[in-house]
Amino acid sequence: MVTGPGRSLGEMIRAGGKSFSFEFFPPKDDAGEEQLWEAIRALEPYRPTFVSVTYGAGGSTRDSTVRVTGRIARETSMIPMAHLTCVGHTRAELESILDAYHEAGVHHVMALRGDPAEGPRAAWTSTEGGLTYATELVELARSRGDFRVGVAAFPEGHPTAESLDHDADVLVAKARAGAEFAVTQMFFRAADYFGLVARVRDRGVDIPILPGIMPILNLAAIRRQGELIGADVPDEVVRRIAAHDGDAAAVRTEGIAVAAELCEELLAGGAPGLHFYTLNRSRATLEIFDRLNVSA
């Protein structure tokens, strides 16, 4: 039976210890559905603080995201957090989606402005009758039902940000609008994460910021994605991975090692936890956990 929101994720993350969380995306077919639930079941024993489910561009996965997060709420011990974006939706449609989440027993939302269909570097145009800023979506979610809200953060700055300082101002505004915690885009230098945290703290805001971790299992794919979202793959990391070019197993092993080292540095430096981008697979995340000595 689905229960009420209880203790919020923001409160849990602030309570001490370390938060570990996993991100999934809605499956496209039956095979993807099976793979997703295999990953969820494999990761559940690790008692994550929460698991999040992404939301397709322009609302393309709306029904699937509601269905998957609702099923997690009903059938597992884990707290689901559903993503929601402003892209392609009117305010009334966003209210309807929030109502659907509430009815499904989902009480935490990741509120995102979202990217244009042309990609994160494209000019932003709001939907007629819709919202323009993530802060507005945070306020809407907080005012409707009993939602607790997370938001996105960008250690290297959003691709369209004027500067790192302006980007920090945006995150601060989302916190002041009611966001309880933030999750970062993927990055590969701990210094970039700690720099973001310092900029936010210098502005008098103590919102917990969880670092987002993406292990490099395919260097070319990660570099393409990094160029799109503004996440740089350091030369040292490229050299380490490229040294095993042609040996997929060795590339994977080195990519896991790089991710584990980053996780260790982040935790040692005071990060409140780790958020893993799983790509709906559990194996890489579990391998990193093994290196971190995180027990189920």
How far are the Cα atoms of 248, 255, 277, 283 from residue 216, in angstroms, in the given order? 11, 5, 11, 13
Residue 296: pLDDT above 90?
no
Residue 1: pLDDT above 60?
no
How far are the Cα atoms of 208, 209, 251, 262, 275 from residue 172, in angstroms, in the given order? 11, 11, 38, 25, 20
Pick the closest to residue 50 from 23, 72, 79 (CA basis).
79
Is 44 assigned a catalytic role?
Answer: no
The percentage of the chain sitting over the pLDDT mark of 70, rounded to a whole number, equals 90
Global pTM reads: 0.91
What would the mean pLDDT of 164-179 be, rounded to a whole number?
A: 96
- Compute CA 291 distance to the chain's CA centroid, rounded to the nearest angstrom: 22
Task: Considering only residues 114 and 238, tell me which one the structure prediction assigns the higher pLDDT.
Answer: 238
Say what the pLDDT of residue 63 is.
79
Domain ranges of the chain: 9-292
| CA distance linking residue 186 with residue 92, whole number of Å | 32
Say what the pLDDT of residue 74 is.
94
**9-292 architecture in CATH?**
Alpha-Beta Barrel (3.20)
Residue 3: pLDDT above 50?
no
Scored b (16 or more CB within 10 A) or e, 169-186 reads bbbbbbbebbbbbbbbbb
> What ranges in the chain are assigned the alpha helix state H?
9-14, 30-43, 62-75, 91-103, 134-143, 164-177, 190-202, 219-229, 235-242, 248-268, 283-292
Catalytic pick among 11, 23, 38, 93 = 23
Residue 2: pLDDT above 60?
no
pLDDT band at residue 4 under the 50/70/90 scheme: very low
Residue 121: pLDDT above 80?
no
- Compute CA 225 distance to the chain's CA centroid, rounded to the nearest angstrom: 15
* 129: helix, strand or coil: coil
